[in-house]
Amino acid sequence: MINTTYVLECSINGKAVAVSVPASKRMSDILRDDLLLTGTKVSCEIGRCGACMILLDGKPVNSCLLMAYQAAGKEVTTIEGISAGEELHPVQQAMLEEGGLQCGYCTAGMVVTLTALWETNPTPTRAEAEEALCGNICRCTGYEGIFRAVEKCGLSMKREGQKPL
């Protein structure tokens, strides 16, 4: 087997990391296997389900489709980097309060996508939310609880006058 080691240097959840991996290794595997950040899940491996969603320079991407070299020099945020220490992100809080999760296996990816939406468009219409979220599959909730969470975090943000991050 050919050993093509490559040093990936990027920022993960605000920390500079250098990890020695094959250049073609998928980001989802680097996160889960090399860095033990198992909050990022892998379910379909083809960018269809969104369980592996991370933020790359703030934009949601499927980490199963992202090769190591594509993340070089960029800022990666995983589910582990969404909450600020012990304090939950409003999206996480809303998901909890509205029953936006059941088995939880899609939840990390869902929260990552929702966070990106919340930062760009905190009070989306139903159609905008559908469009933003249609790359994330949930097999448990029927999406209703997640929509309630979308509404809730939009509304609560308005009410409390919070600003996007």
Partner 1 sequence: MLLGRDTYAKKWIIRPDGEEKVTGKLRYLTDLTAPGMLHGKVLRSRYPHAWILSIDTSKAIMTPGVRIVVTAEDVPGMNLFGIAFPHQPVFCHDRVRYIGDALAAVAADTEEIAEYALSLIEVVYEPLPVVDDPETALEAGAIKLHPDGNLLHRTSLKHGEAETAFEGCAHIVEETYFTPRQMHTYMETEGGLFVPEDDGRLTVYSPTQHGYKDRMQLSRILGMAEEQIRVVSSPIGGSFGGKDELNVQPFGALMALKTGSPIKMHNSRRESVISGIKRHPMRIKMKTGADHEGRLIAHQVSILADTGAYATLGCEVLNFATEHAIGPYNIPNVDVQGTSVYTNNGVSGEFRGFGGNQVIFSVESQIERLAEKLGMDSWELRKLNLRAPVDPGPMGQQIVQTEGANQVWSKVKESPLWAKRGKLKRGGESEEQQDQAERLQAEERDDKCEDQVPWIRRGVGAAMVMHGAGLGLGIPDHSGGRIELTPEGKIQASFGFEEFGQGLYAALTLMLQDFFGCTAEDIRIVIGDTDRVPSSGSSTASRATTMMWRALQQLKPPFVQALLQQASALAGLAAEELATGAGGIHRKGDESGMPVVTYAELAEAADAAAKPIIAHTEFDYPTTPEGLVGAHYLYSYASVIVEVEVNMLTGRVKVLQTDHVIAAGPVINPMGFLGQIEGGSVMALGYTLTEDAVMKESNYVRHNLDTYLVPTFKDSPHTIRVEAIEDLPEGDTFGPRGVGEIGSVGLAPAITAAVRQATGIWVNRLPISPESIVQSIDWLEGVEAID
Q: Give the residues lining the site for partner 1 (CB under 8 A).
A: 1, 32, 36-41, 43-46, 48-49, 51, 78-80, 82-83, 88, 92, 95-99, 101-108, 111, 126, 129-131, 133-147
CB 90 within 8 A of CB 121: no
Residue 54 or residue 66: which is nearer to partner 1 going by CB? 54
CA nearest 146: which of 121, 120, 163, 112? Answer: 112
Nearer to partner 1 (CB atom), residue 1 or residue 73: 1
Question: Minimum CB separation from partner 1 for residue 100, in Å?
Answer: 8
Alpha helices in 2-125 (DSSP H): 27-29, 90-98, 107-120
Q: How far is the CB of 55 from partner 1 (least distance, A)?
A: 13
Considering the complex, state which of residue 1 and residue 16 has its C-beta at the smaller distance from partner 1.
Answer: 1
* C-beta of 9 vs 125, nearer to partner 1: 125
CB of 94 to partner 1, least distance (A): 9
- In the complex, the smallest distance separating the C-beta of residue 97 from partner 1, rounded to whole angstroms, is 6
Minimum Å gap between C-beta 122 and partner 1 is 18
Which pair of tokens denotes residue 114?
A: 């929702």
Other CB atoms within 10 A of residue 158 CB: 11
Sign of CA dihedral 137, 139, 143, 148: negative
- In sign, the C-alpha dihedral spanning 144, 117, 8, 72 is positive
Whose Cβ is closer to partner 1: residue 5's or residue 73's?
A: 5
Q: How far is CA 76 from CA 26, 71, 79, 154, in A?
A: 13, 8, 10, 25
